[in-house]
Every structure is written in C-alpha cells, then in structure tokens.
Structure 1
Amino acid sequence: MSRRGWILFAAMCVIWGIPYLLIKVAVREIGPAELVFVRTALGAALLLPIALARKEVRASLRPWLPLIAYTVVEIGLPWLLLSDAERHVDSSFTGLVIAGVPLVAALVARATNRDERLTPGRAGGLLAGFAGVALLLGFHIDTGGVVPMAELVGVVICYATGPLIIERWLSDVPRYGVAAVSLAAGALMFAPFAAPDLPDLARTVTLQPALAVLALSVICTALAFVLFFALIAEVGGVRATVITFVNPAVAVVLGAAVLGEQVTLLTGVAFALILTGSVLATRREPSRPVAAGGG
C-alpha cells in the first residue's frame, strides 16, 4: 500500500477500536436510546452537507425500503444493544465479542450464496472462531448476566447482516448518501424515545460522558465514514476490511490502559482463536468484501 493508504489504515484501526471505550464512559450517565439518538443526529448533521454537495442524497432515497432495513440492522438495533450491554460488561470484552462478526458473515454468505464453498480450512476457521466466542461468553456470563451476552450476540448478527443488504440492494447507491441518510433515518427513529429526556440530560450530564458522546459522534461516526471511504478508494474494499482484525486489539488495550479493565490469559486465548478463525473463515477471492462491523 501507499504511505497514504497506511496512514488511513492506521487511523481506521484506532477510530473503530475506541467506540467501545467511549460507549462505556457515556452510558454511566446517558441512556442507550439517548446515546444512539445523539450519535446519529450529530453524525447526520456532519455528513449530510457532504452528501448534498456531492448530489448523492436523492439517489440514496430511491431504494428506500433496503435503506430502512440497513438503518435498522446496521445502525439502530446494534448501537442500542451495544450501548445497553456495556452498562454491564467491560468495553474490552465487548470488542472481543464483536470480533466474531466475520465468522457470522461467512455463515451468512454461505447460506445466501450457493457459490460459497465451505472448504476444510474455512470450516476449521469457523470452529476455532466460535470456540473463542463461546469461551468468552461462557466465562463472563456469571459476571455480566445472560441479557448482555444475548445483546452482544445480537450485535454480531446485525453487523454481519448489514453488509449483505449493501451488497444485494444498495451496491450502486453512492456511499456518502447511504451513510448520511441512514444516520438521519436512525435519528428520526430514536427521536420519540430520546427527545423528552434530553433537556434533563443536558442539565445533569458531567464532562466525561458528554465528551465521550461528542467523540463518538464526530470521530467514530462522521469522520470514520469519511476516512473509511477514502481508505476503500486508496487500497480497495478487501484490504480495507482487514481493520476488522485489528479493532478488537485496540479495544482491549484501551480498556486496560484507560479504564483499568482486567486482561487475563483467557482473554488472550479467546482472542487468538477468534482472530485465527476469522482469518481462515473469510479467506477467499478478492471480489467479496468482509463485514467491517465498526462500533
């Protein structure tokens, strides 16, 4: 890759590795619905002018039904579940579980595309990866509870399904248009639930959660989309999705360094299994993208 490509790649590895830390800080004082509303509203406010300037909004609205489905599956539902789960579990643990997205994406691709062959290498990768996820969930279920574990599994399924909607029904729709309009649609979906509590929240929220929401909205949402599209243009979609395998490590390091979260030998073993399994399960010809699953 070019020097610019490496810079964009490194930036995306960090930017989509820190949402779990920021969410953990934000949900100390901000409810999940309010957090998702602010994140989508600010993200849309920053991206819509770009999409309008590029004349991509109208083209994005034409396939309105797939766009709504994408908004629910890739933004609304997973961000809500993620925010609620992180009220009970560590951010580093969350990042490791989300690392299982490529595994589920491989299964979804196999189920929806007959041309996808389940080779022995891929099958072994799936077994290893899911063993790592099961190891994490099994050892944390007593401390986190069943509901947060189920929510994280739901996030993984959503993140693995969202790219399928893009590939099948929105592949010809301009990228900035899809990102901006889906964020705006997400904000509209959560407005009825979040708006009544926003005045009280604005008076009571302290500095750290407020800054976490701002960073989550501006850096991890709006800026992340801009940089990710630039990375795809620079190095191609397949190479760009390799960030999927680096984000969890960033989440673990930040969780331990900033929040003092415990990193055990079990964590390392589980991450090695998930990473190895994801690489093996998603090895394929360059034409198919791997789900990125950005927090």
Structure 2
Amino acid sequence: MQANNHMTVQSWLLLGALSVLWGGSFFFVGVAVREVPPLTIAAIRVLLAAVILQGVLRLSGLTLPWRGEVWRAFGMAGLLNNAIPFGLFFWAQTQIPSGLASILNATTPIFTVLVAHVFTADEKLTPGRLLGVLLGFAGVAVMIGVDLLSGLGRNVLAQGACLLGTLSYAFGAVYSRRFARLGVKPMQVAGGQFIASSAILLPLALLVEQGWQIPLPSWQSIAAIVALAALSTALGFVIYFRIMVAAGSNVNLVTLLVPVSAILLGVLVLGETLALRHLAGMVAIALGLAAIDGRVLKVFRR
C-alpha cells in the first residue's frame, strides 16, 4: 500500500484544520522562547506529545509495532520531521521575527515538489504544480507584508537555518510515505516518531542548554509549551499523517495555509483588521492551491 497524491475534499478540510493548529505554533513558540531556550522547548514539546499519544493509543486499543524496520523508520522520521526542523526554527525565532520565519516556512512546498520529483515515481513535477507552489508562496509574501520582506538578507544565519528546516520537512514528507507500505496507522506513526525524536532532542538539550539551571518560567510560557505539545504537535501530527495516507507529500501544502489561518484567527479572535494585502495574498494562495489540485483547470479545459 502506498500513499497517492490526490487531494480529496476530506484531505483539503483536514489540511485547513492542520493549518489552524500549526498557525498557532508560531505564537506559542514566540511566547515560550522569551524564557526557555529553543532546544529545551523542542525537547519538552516532543516528549509531552509522545506521552499524550501513548495515552491516546492505549485508550484506542492500539499498540506500537516493535519490528526493527518500523523503529528505524520512526528514528529517521523523528529526525527529519521533528528534531532538525524544530531545533532550527526555534533557534531562528530568537534571532528573527515570527512573521519572517513563517514566510521562510512557506518555502516548504517548493522544496517538497523538488524532492518528491527526484525520489518518488508518482509525484513528478509538472508545470501546473510548480506554478501553483510559486503562486502560493508569492501570496504568503504579499499577505505577510513588504516590511518583513525587507528583513531578508539580514541575519542570514537564522534565515538559512529556517530554509534548512524546510528542506528537512520536505525530505521528511517524502520519507514518511513508507509507513503506509509498512502498515502503520497515522496515530502509531506520530506516537513512534515522537518517542524517537525525544531520544534525540532530550540529551542534546540537556548537554547544550543545561535545562536544570533555567529559572522556573512563568505560567504563560508553561501554558504555551503545553498547548504547543498537545495541539500543534500531538493532534497536529496525527492529522498530518492521516492526510499523507491519502495525498502523499501534498501534506506540506499546509505551510501555505498557516499564515492565512494565523491572520483569520487574529481578525476573528483578537479583532485585528483585515487589510487589502491580506485579501490579495489569500487570492494568490487560493489560485496556487487550485493549480496544484488541477481539477479546476480540467473543468476550464473542458
């Protein structure tokens, strides 16, 4: 059994839900990183997510498979999907604004279509797919605003870290397709992946940042880390792998929708103003996603 690359209506709805959960992650990290070092946040995030998912697996009557090939896959997925990108993005957010980090995060689909073209047989690059991804990225840039784009070129190391993180996400999405062939359910994949990434990040965080010397953070930072682990991570990655079963590496299109969700949540919950550039960016993203999906173009051709 292998994931395909067709986006159903259910896949698009799940992608929208995931964008809301991951849109909140930039806010949660922005709150927590003021008091807690980045690697420590990443380690606590995956450890709490692993604990939560083990409880959910037990309640669901599921257990983790113990085959060696499955745990080797968990280890690689944990490295590519969690340990590398979380560490890089969390450190970068101590150096650059969260908005700029979210723009750079939106390059994930660009890297993903290139990686998928090289390493898969059924997700080859097409003109419509590439055009859609570029349109979507342009929409994100317009929506976030030229003020943040003017920061490109400053603090190159942090921005390079973000781009390396998105490249890791791209390889992680393509690599994780193998779990469908191994017969591992999405919730099991998420649970096993977080155990593996905890084993990577916890010793690294203790060695580099010596978390036992960090003063007790405020309740706001603690709440942000718990929400980051439970919502953006545990629940988010269960949805992520469920989409992957149906739509392959198209799951990384979520990074184009994350800024849309963040802005709409700001308008609906915080009473922020929806600017013209936001609407223009959303239109460009919608056109890009339609080009990637392909069905709208087929209707026009007919």
The farther-off stretch of 23-32 and 85-94 is: 85-94
Residues 262 and 36 from structure 1, CA distance in 2 versus in 1: closer, same or farther, beyond 3 angstroms? Answer: farther
Give 1:17 deviation, angstroms. 1.2
CA contact (8 A) 2:140 2:281 kept: yes
Q: How many residues align?
A: 276
Displacement, 1:269? 6.6
5+ residue gaps, structure 2: 1-9, 296-302
Looking at structure 1, the residues matched to 171 and 243 of structure 2 have their Cα atoms a distance apart, in angstroms, of 20
Equivalent in the alignment of 2:156: 146
1:88 aligns with 2:95: yes
The answer to whether the 8 Å contact 2:78/2:196 transfers is yes
Bigger shift: residues 123-132 or 18-27: 123-132
The one of 181, 192, 198 equivalent to 1:181 is 192
Letter in 1 for 2:117: R
Larger deviation, residues 121-130 vs 84-93: 121-130
Aligned to 2:53: 47
Task: Work out whether 1:14 is the aligned partner of 2:14.
Answer: no
Aligned to 2:36: 30
2:110–2:134: 8 Å Cα contact kept in structure 1? no
- Residue equivalent to 1:66: 73
Bigger drift between 24-33 and 102-111 goes to: 102-111
User: C-alpha distance in 1, partners of 2:221/2:211?
Assistant: 14
CA shift at 1:96, angstroms?
Answer: 2.9
Alignment partners' CA distance in 1, 2:254 and 2:205: 32
1:217 counterpart letter in structure 2? A
Equivalent residues of 1:43, 1:183 under 8 A apart = yes
**1:83-116 deviation line (CA, Å, top 9, x unaligned):** 0111122223322322222222111121223554
Post-superposition shift, 1:188?
1.6
Q: Aligned equivalents of 1:95 and 1:41: distance in 2?
A: 24
Secondary structure of the residue that 2:177 maps to in structure 1? helix
SS in 2 for 1:173: coil
CA distance in 2, matches of 1:248, 1:200: 35
In the TM superposition, what is the alpha-carbon distance from 1:253 to its structure 2 partner?
5.2
**Map of 2:7 onto structure 1:** none
Query: Structure 1 stretches of 5 or more lacking a match?
Result: 286-295
What per-residue deviation string (whole Å, max 9, x for no partner) do you get for residues 116-146 of structure 1? 454332343355456678997862225x510
Query: Deviations for 1:189-213, whole angstroms, at most 9, x for unmatched residues?
Result: 1222334633332x43122222111
Give the TM-score normalised by the residue count of structure 1. Answer: 0.75
2:262 aligns to what?
251
Judging changes above 3 Å, is the alpha-carbon distance between structure 1 residues 166 and 270 closer, same or farther for their aligned structure 2 residues? same
TM-score (norm 2): 0.73
- How many Å separate the matches in 2 of 1:66 and 1:107? 22
Residue in structure 2 matching 1:200, options 207, 213, 227 = 213
Give, in whole Å, the separation in 2 of the partners of 1:179 and 1:27: 24
State the 1:254 CA deviation. 5.8
Which residue among 106, 109, 118 is the counterpart of 1:102?
Answer: 109
| Segment drifting more, 236-245 vs 191-200 | 236-245
What code does the residue aligned with 2:258 have?
N
The answer to whether the 8 A contact 2:48-2:230 is kept is yes
CA contact (8 A) 1:67 1:170 kept: no
**Structure 1 position 284, deviation (Å):** 5.6
Equivalent residues of 1:179, 1:225 under 8 A apart: yes
Alpha-carbon distance change, 263 to 69 in structure 1, aligned in 2, over 3 angstroms: farther
Residue equivalent to 1:121? 128
Query: Which of 229, 246, 253 in structure 2 is aligned with 1:237?
Result: 246
What amino acid maps onto 1:215 in structure 2?
A
Cα distance, 1:34 vs. partner? 0.5
- Whether the 8 Å contact between 2:101 and 2:159 is mirrored in structure 1 is no
Residue in structure 2 matched with residue 190 of structure 1 by the alignment? 201
The code of the aligned residue for 1:23 comes to V
Cα displacement (A) at 1:45:
0.8
For residue 170 of structure 2, what is the aligned residue in structure 1? 160
Distance 1:79 1:5, change over 3 A: closer
Gap change, CA 1:166 and 1:92, over 3 Å in 2? same
RMSD of aligned alpha carbons: 3.9
- Aligned mates of 2:229, 2:263 — CA distance in 1: 21
